[in-house]
Structure 1
Amino acid sequence: RPASKCWGSKQAMVEPVTHAILPDATDHLVDGLLKRLDCEPAYVALRQTCQAQGVSWLMLVGGMLRDWVLRETVSADLDVVVDPAHAKPLAKALSKVYGCKCIVLDEALGIYRLVVPPAFFAAHGWQGRVVMIDVAARLGNTLADDLARRDLTVNAMGLTLDDAHWHDPYDGLGDAQRRQLRMVSADNFRDDPLRYIRLFRFAATLGGLAMEAGTLVEVRAEGHRLLHVAPERIHYELCRLLDAEQCFDVIGLMQQTGLLGHLFVEWPALQQVPANGYHHLALPEHTLALLQQLEQLWAGLPASMRGALAEPYNATMSRRAVCRLGCFFHDFGKPATMALDDETGRYRFYGHEKVGAELVAGIALRYRWSQQLTRDVCALTRWHLYPHQVMGPEVSDKARHKFFRRLTHVMPELLALALCDRHSTRGTLVSQTDVDRDEAQLLALWAAYEVFAKAEAELPPLLSGREVMARLNLQPGPAVGRVLDQLREAQLAGELADKASAEVWLDALQDHVN
């Protein structure tokens, strides 16, 4: 097949290269990938279903080829392109084979998604595997038309299965070897502005690929187009970005290109807060420094804290990504609360944590966060100073236990944030001794929390909610929960040992109320 058959449209910013098909250079890639896929039950079922449905032309595209080139790993996402007439029938047939729903992503364009469940893999001897397959109708009339509409050159490669041929009209293989991200066309980004942030997500999740200069110029000039993208789509990309092993450098580049200001209208105001005696950095740089500190401190954190942060938070991200959201937003309330203290000549930010939590609630609403994520990131913002109030040796166990119970749902994230904040606050009024002391006390607080959590899990409650309501003559409601919390705190403090002592405690509480 002549190379010209695989060239893209003339409008592409990146001109199709004359070495678009490189049989010698790509044979080993094709052979290795196909051998690996032949061991993958979902792919084998796809191939068999295509044969049964009479689908003779199918092309693998996108992330699977890119990941194979970069890391020789098979991703859990499989994107396939077929002739438009076959897209819907094939997706419907595959849903029956896999035992899953056929999700319509775009009926007009013919794009369908199948989330292959663990049960399918278990039936083939694989455990804990989930694969997402997107079946899409070919864009345009030819293979070349389809690849010309992709976002990045490393995603504009295709493998047609009828002839086992690797198609690379925009030198995506070369860019992968150079470890750079380069757009296929500025028009492709402008047609779907989500690609402006997907670019940064790929840079983070693919292990630090650099961005080609012309692509960055496009982001600086046209990144404002993100404002026209559905907020849910932006939020998904941000979560994926924040879940990368390292993301500080990428988010720093988002600041330099102006993208952070487009995503968060609150961001430019942070420039108003300068460095001071306690903070050696102005607020924007201090905010990003926390993200950097989380990466630098990660290996030295207690293994139990790292393990907790590595746990999945939802289907998109881990708890570490939630911690990063807390780091990013923790001081957003400072510009609105900045006031000059006439006596000291220093700026104060009284209540900035409360104002910041309110701002985060607004951002969460804007980006359609889940209620759980809204609650947790607002809590991290609202209480990010609280660990310093309960970490000293002079603080009672009861006060610490109250803190643990109130914020147990975000304790690993909150203490990791506090550690990062401490290491990012190194003004002239802060000594290394201060930093070392606070770090030791925060780590001791984590150790105390682990002891508390273990005791909390092992100690059965002394009274049930029904028993509390009956004894105090209460109706179901928040008051019952507050009493149960106080009862539990007294139990964990060793003040109550059994049901009888708990009932006496309740009677005393009722007498006090009456």
Structure 2
Amino acid sequence: MNVILSKETMIRKARETLANHFRGIKLHDDAMMVGGTIRDILLGRTPKDIDIATPKTAELVQGFVDKGFTHVLLDEQRDIHRMVGNGVHIDITPLHHDHIHDLIGRDFTINAIGLVISTEEVLDPQGGMKDLSKGLVRALSEDRFLEDPLRLIRAFRIAADLSFSIDPVTKRFITKHAHLINRPSKERIRDEVCWTIEAPRSYPVIEELTRTGILGRILPEFASVSQVIAHKPHALGLTEHLLWTYKYLEDILEDLDSMLGDYADNAKELLSTVMASDRKMFICTKLAGLLHDIGKPQTITYEEEVHFLEHDRVGSEMVSKRMEELKFSSAETKTVSGIVLNHMRPHNLQRLDSVSPKAVFKYFRDLEQIAIPTLLVAVADAYATQMVPYGSLEAYHEFVKSMVAENQQMGKPKPLLTGDEIMKLLGIGPGPEIGLAVSYLVEAQALGQITTKTQAKELIKSKGYLNEGNA
């Protein structure tokens, strides 16, 4: 059972929210604070967005525009608006009828609690507070999913965000109408998927999305992985393997201090990098973990053993195409497809008796920003392959820590010679050869092979970079 705030405390918190963000804004007498705002306040959380239902949407929109907020029209047909400013999103919806009628027309009981702002009357016609205390996401009716099929996945997003369960009857409705999930815009679907993945412990919800058929309809490539049954060295079929990789990856992301030691803060900063809108690198990393073997059904061959030659390349291409269709940014698409393409590289290095500094340098040079996320996905992949308790693959943990430590120690030095100096030294003009030479030079400096400009000139004149194949 969840402990929720009393009505009195909720009203006080709502007043504070209004005082912080609505100063100087005139609200209609019938305006009501609703939805996730009231839900989050009751749970003792700081609301991410503020939801207001009002009979006069245009007047409220203009009030915020006059205060310097940016206006985003979310749905012209349904008269839904978002005001962005002062670090907050304020969503404005029309109040067409009375307060009760508005609330019983909403999606889930826990979102159908309202506070009439002028009178401070709390309305809960569908028992939303009771479901909040139970930790339950319950649809108000089956029709809600027909009105807006995005709610089919939103139920799971809310469950992931709040660590709630979905009511069994609601889950049956979702399974029944799963075929409708692709009717909303791709952008809206993408956002709900990402918000679900963003929750730190979303594995149970991702598993339920798979069981209900929602995930396979959003990502048809994921539906096809059920064709691949358990095979050596994998203890599970491919669907279960991908789900467990996702689960282990969540364990790893919560255990970065232990896994990376002194280098954990740098990794956390990298994983918090905003890729697009408010979507961060760790969301891309988790998505890559879920999809890393997506190319296997397309590449399976049966000889003495089962093989999946080039499944990483094929999977990367499949991921790129699907993410473009879901309107992910080019940076996000490049990140996830890059991790999928390279997820075998850490495995290949980890199998060596020892990893040379040169191999470490090339790994981080080639993968750049996705080098550490790819290492983390590989560790999760190893766990899901062997299905052993988290923490037991000590050798793999040590391998990852040593890779990151070695790279940090080498760094990426500034080239001792500029491109112009190299062109003058070799008597050639601009072209790909200059890039090869600079890369070769930086590698030699990082590995401690040269330290002076004279040594750099001798190295470049040898033209060893032409044989290195390190472009």
- Paired residues for 1:201-280 under 5 Å: 201-206=157-162, 208-280=163-235
Q: For residues 499 and 220 of structure 1, do their structure 2 counterparts lie closer, same or farther at Cα, with a shift above 3 Å needed?
A: same
From 23, 46, 51, the equivalent of 2:22 is: 46
From 474, 486, 496, the equivalent of 2:450 is: 496
From 397, 400, 405, the equivalent of 1:447 is: 405
1:307 matched to 2:277: no
Partner of 1:389: 348
CA distance in 2, matches of 1:431, 1:239: 28
1:336 matched to 2:313: no
How far residue 487 of structure 1 moved from its aligned partner, in angstroms, is 1.9
How far residue 379 of structure 1 moved from its aligned partner, in angstroms, is 1.1
- Paired residues for 1:14-163 under 5 Å: 29-40=6-17, 43-46=19-22, 48-50=24-26, 55-69=28-42, 71-83=43-55, 86-97=56-67, 99-117=68-86, 130-138=87-95, 140-163=96-119
Counterpart amino acid of residue 48 in structure 2:
A
From 318, 329, 333, the equivalent of 1:370 is: 329
Task: Confirm or deny: 8 A CA contact 1:112 1:136 kept in the other structure.
Answer: yes
List runs of 5+ in structure 1 lacking aligned partners.
Answer: 1-24, 118-129
How far residue 470 of structure 1 moved from its aligned partner, in angstroms, is 4.7
- For the residue of structure 1 that corresponds to 2:220, the secondary structure is coil
CA distance in 1, matches of 2:391, 2:202: 29
How far residue 475 of structure 1 moved from its aligned partner, in angstroms, is 5.7
User: What whole-Å deviation, never above 9, does each CA across 1:34-68 have from its counterpart, x for those lacking one?
Assistant: 4334444x6445253116xxx32210011111112
How far residue 280 of structure 1 moved from its aligned partner, in angstroms, is 0.5
How far residue 449 of structure 1 moved from its aligned partner, in angstroms, is 2.8
CA distance in 1, matches of 2:215, 2:236: 18
Partner of 1:8: none
Partner of 2:151: 195
User: What whole-Å deviation, never above 9, does each CA across 1:311-338 have from its counterpart, x for those lacking one?
Assistant: 2434433332222111111101111111
CA distance in 1, matches of 2:126, 2:150: 21
CA distance in 1, matches of 2:466, 2:134: 74
Counterpart amino acid of residue 105 in structure 2:
R
Task: Confirm or deny: 8 A CA contact 1:30 1:165 kept in the other structure.
Answer: no
Counterpart amino acid of residue 411 in structure 1:
A
1:421 matched to 2:399: no
How far residue 195 of structure 1 moved from its aligned partner, in angstroms, is 0.9
How far residue 89 of structure 1 moved from its aligned partner, in angstroms, is 2.3
Counterpart amino acid of residue 374 in structure 2:
L
Task: Confirm or deny: 8 A CA contact 2:419 2:434 kept in the other structure.
Answer: yes
Counterpart amino acid of residue 448 in structure 1:
E
CA distance in 1, matches of 2:433, 2:136: 58
Q: For residues 37 and 66 of structure 1, do their structure 2 counterparts lie closer, same or farther at Cα, with a shift above 3 Å needed?
A: closer
TM-score (norm 1): 0.82
Q: For residues 173 and 487 of structure 1, do their structure 2 counterparts lie closer, same or farther at Cα, with a shift above 3 Å needed?
A: same
CA distance in 1, matches of 2:9, 2:164: 23
User: What whole-Å deviation, never above 9, does each CA across 1:472-508 have from its counterpart, x for those lacking one?
Assistant: 5666565543332222112111222133332332333
Q: Which moved more, 1:349-358 or 1:483-492?
A: 483-492
CA distance in 2, matches of 1:100, 1:310: 30
Partner of 2:418: 464
CA distance in 2, matches of 1:46, 1:353: 51
Q: RMSD value over aligned CA atoms?
A: 2.7
Q: Which moved more, 1:28-37 or 1:353-362?
A: 28-37
How far residue 137 of structure 1 moved from its aligned partner, in angstroms, is 1.8
Counterpart amino acid of residue 30 in structure 2:
W
CA distance in 1, matches of 2:465, 2:233: 49
User: What whole-Å deviation, never above 9, does each CA across 1:128-165 have from its counterpart, x for those lacking one?
Assistant: xx211112221x32222322221111011110011101
Q: Which moved more, 1:382-391 or 1:307-316?
A: 307-316
- For the residue of structure 2 that corresponds to 1:280, the secondary structure is coil
Q: For residues 384 and 309 of structure 1, do their structure 2 counterparts lie closer, same or farther at Cα, with a shift above 3 Å needed?
A: same
Task: Confirm or deny: 8 A CA contact 2:363 2:371 kept in the other structure.
Answer: no
Task: Confirm or deny: 8 A CA contact 1:415 1:446 kept in the other structure.
Answer: no
CA distance in 2, matches of 1:56, 1:90: 12
Report sequence identity in percent.
28
- Paired residues for 1:6-17 under 5 Å: none
List runs of 5+ in structure 2 lacking aligned partners.
Answer: none
CA distance in 1, matches of 2:426, 2:177: 64
From 359, 362, 368, the equivalent of 1:408 is: 368
User: What whole-Å deviation, never above 9, does each CA across 1:116-138 have from its counterpart, x for those lacking one?
Assistant: 23xxxxxxxxxxxx211112221
